[in-house]
Amino acid sequence: MTTRTTRRRFLATSAATAAALSQQAAFAAAPVPQDDATPYKLFFNQPAAKWFDSLPVGNGRLGACVFGDTARERIQLNEESIWDGEHRDRTNPKAGEAVPKIRELLFAGKVREAEALALSDMMSIPRGMPCYQTLGDLHLDLGAIGSVENYRLELNLDTAIVTTTFTHAGTHFTREVFSSAPDQVIAIRLTSSTPGKLNFTATLDRPAHFATTAIAPNRLTLSGEALPVNDNPRFPIKERQVGIKYHAELLALTDSKGTATTKDTTLTISNATEVTLLIDCATNYRYPAGLEAMQAAVAKNLNAARTRTYADLRSRHVADHQRLFRRAEISLGPDPNAKTPTDKRVQHIKDGGEDIHLLPLYFQYGRYMLISSSRPGTLASNLQGIWNESVDPPWGSKYTININTEMNYWLANRANLADLNAPLFDLIDNARASGAITAQRYYKARGTVVHHNTDIWGDTSPIDALGGGIWPMGGSWLSLHLWDHFDYTGDAAFLRDRAYPRLRENALFLLDYLIPAPDGTPYAGHLITGPSCSPENKYKLPDGSAHNLCMGPTMDTEITRAILTRLLQSATILGESSLTADADLHTRARSALAKLPPYKVGKAGNLQEWPEDYVENEPGHRHISHLFALFPDDQITPRGTPELAQACRTTLDRRLAADGGSTGWSRSWIVNCMARLEDGDAAYQSVLQLFRQSTRRNLFDVCGLKEDSPFQIDGNLGGPTALIEMLLQSHANGSEPNTNVVRFLPALPKAWPTGSFRGLQARGGLEVSLAWQDGKATTAVLKAAIDHTHRIAAPKGQSITSVRLGGTKPVSAEAADEISLPVKAGETFTLHFS
């Protein structure tokens, strides 16, 4: 092995190192927690008063939100494919002729005229997009229940079960709710400690466009069509009187002494001690043959589930969930607040306090939400994951791909959930055909393009308004997730069969989309994109007018550089001799890379967001699009490009000084950027702000600062990603470009003096577990999934003092702050630090 040593001394195993080994061994060998022993529980002493305080369950396809009311329980239901609208061609027929004219106007400084033409001749027809809708609600009416004792509403993240327990009139009542991936049903179990005390009615309804029917003494249906309800002027309701058709059923199973009857649209349970309710739903998105096919699909799942005991359904569900959930965890030491309800802990932080021991729970909540909303074979997690109570949700609860959908999946590879990327990759594939049409009709380009939103039919046209709509980089950004998946897993077949073809299509589009900037413009002599925008942001011209549209925004250049770079890296890995048909494409990519404009530092020391150093219309804007090169990409790093890294820090400081980071996803992005700048204390302060501003008391992320701001899942997944980035990074961040370096504790804040993590993933197929004490790493365990040579860097101020294969066989006895470590698949290495 080759070792680069910057400090060297002979080693002896110190008492501290021995203690660290003992600590790590204990951590690795800790017994698997039982259901009632796991620290990963959200719990409350009262029911949820509103939907966005309820507790979610999901299997990727079916979701439910539980309120926990003792007398009149509401369980809100979702099925992932219930959308209004339909697949349609939204192409503006004038776009192809308009794009060159808009470019000329922008180059001539006639921005107002360019925007007017873009609005009329580029925006899709209609300008709106369909939305994701709720399935509806299950209501359980238990009659008049007065005061209760020992109430608890709990979400156990380790079992993915929501439990409500209370005592009334001497009887203890228990309800469990989960959404099973193995059996593809939502299961609800009600029990009473006193025989025959379960008496309630069950009904199904929905805000609009539904019918309920009793089809058996123990069976109700909910069916209809997801028609639009909002007459959006961008998408008139008269133009979209169509939607996905759905069919759901509720099946009730009681113990031998209980009875189930139906009358009209109500199911009644009488004198039961144990009741299991099973729910499934099918849509004509999955079953286009129609109602009979949907009914057959639902009947198949319900009939299969009813043949199993509840204990069997539960154990199958728990085993399947724990297969994913138990792969990774973060610990910041014993939790002194473990017996405090979750809402009280969150409120303590909102009131200005701190609770670092809530962060491991928050981390696992993010992993839980991804597991519950994105499984292989399901649709990708949308703006609200799969949880939505409305038929007209905020922003349509669709796929917004100028940050939000991407943030949803930052967590997957890092948190040892790489297999949950599959729905995102399917979403990318789903937009290919439409994207090729849009690329040709709008830009006369090859390849494929997606603008800032898409839907379950893979729509790719520019929608809504100029601020977001005229931005043809969404598909390119998404396709970089394919490269990241390869970078983490080392799966060469995946790179060959799935990642490279998508990178190739996006590169083809970008190479045709780029144009030379004419003399007299800020980027003269360079290739730039446009017309485009810096997503949703505006700049000010000297006359004080504010505008979105421009040529060559910084983020476009960053994404273009990333696509072309990853294309060429992929070709090198796969062997360019096997890609001879793409030789010209690779040559064009190298030439274009050399002609892309450099990144600029503005007069305030900030990274410029636009080609010119414009005055910002909104200095605290929520988007930090031009920091894409810092995170999630690695074009800007503290070691490789220190001046640009400082410009990014200045940009962040200026945004925050102007009250930026005002949404959960925005603040989460800021934490990730601070982690990449290796400022742990600044990152932690933004973690606190994420809780104080944008986290509800059930840990739901919110998009805004108001109490009733909408829930969005992106911040719930971006925040935990940032916690990982504070503890482990593995991107290119050294003297050699495009060479990954595994760095331990790169942004550890002073507030986390002691802790450990297990099962986090580094690029190159490396699983990492590590313990630290008093702010210093003590021991790390590395498990290799593939053959690879890693560059490993010790935390700042520390050295790697020994490396042992299998924990016993010495590999190195020289101290170094950075080493090169060749590994073979299946090997485990133990590292010690001083």
Task: Give the confidence band of 237 by pLDDT, cuts at 50, 70, 90.
Answer: low
Task: Give the confidence band of 333 by pLDDT, cuts at 50, 70, 90.
Answer: very high
Amino acid symbol at 258? G
Tokens of 311: 């204990």
Give the Cα separation of 75 and 52 in Å (integer).
Answer: 12
| pLDDT at residue number 784 | 98
Instruction: Write the pLDDT tens digit of every residue in 444-464.
Output: 999 999 999 999 999 999 999
The SS3 assignment for 215 reads strand
| DSSP output for 330-362 | EE-S--TTTTS-HHHHHHHHHTT---GGGHHHH
**Has residue 724 got a pLDDT over 60?**
yes
| pLDDT at residue number 15 | 34
Instruction: Write the pLDDT tens digit of every residue in 408-456.
Output: 999 999 999 999 999 999 999 999 999 999 999 999 999 999 999 999 9
Whether residue 721 contacts residue 668, with contact meaning beta carbons closer than 8 Å, is answered with: yes
Extended beta strands in 182-341, E state:
185-192, 198-205, 210-216, 219-225, 245-254, 259-263, 266-272, 274-283, 329-331
Give the Cα separation of 241 and 236 in Å (integer).
Answer: 10
**Has residue 116 got a pLDDT over 90?**
yes
Instruction: Write the pLDDT tens digit of every residue in 519-563.
Output: 999 999 999 999 999 999 999 999 999 999 999 999 999 999 999
Based on its alpha-carbon atoms, the radius of gyration of the chain, rounded to whole angstroms, reads 27
**Has residue 196 got a pLDDT over 60?**
yes
Give the Cα separation of 21 and 769 in Å (integer).
Answer: 12
| pLDDT at residue number 736 | 77
Lowest mean pLDDT among 31-35, 118-122, 129-133: 31-35
Where does residue 759 rank: exposed (0-12), middle (13-18), buried (19+ CB within 10 A)? middle
| pLDDT at residue number 813 | 59
Whether residue 269 contacts residue 260, with contact meaning beta carbons closer than 8 Å, is answered with: yes
User: What does the mean pLDDT of the chain come to?
Assistant: 94
Closest to 819 (Cα-Cα) out of 806, 833, 800: 800
Report, as an integer, the average pLDDT of 394-398. 95
**Has residue 222 got a pLDDT over 80?**
yes
Whether residue 200 contacts residue 215, with contact meaning beta carbons closer than 8 Å, is answered with: no
**Has residue 106 got a pLDDT over 90?**
yes
Instruction: Write the pLDDT tens digit of every residue in 789-806.
Output: 999 999 999 999 999 998
Question: Crossing angle of helices 664-676/680-694, nearest 10°?
Answer: 170
Percent of the chain topping pLDDT 70: 94
Instruction: Write the pLDDT tens digit of every residue in 51-101.
Output: 999 999 999 999 999 999 999 999 999 999 999 999 999 999 999 999 999
| pLDDT at residue number 10 | 24
Total-model pTM: 0.95
Question: Crossing angle of helices 95-107/111-121, nearest 10°?
Answer: 170
- CA dihedral of residues 699, 701, 707, 709 (deg, nearest 10): -150
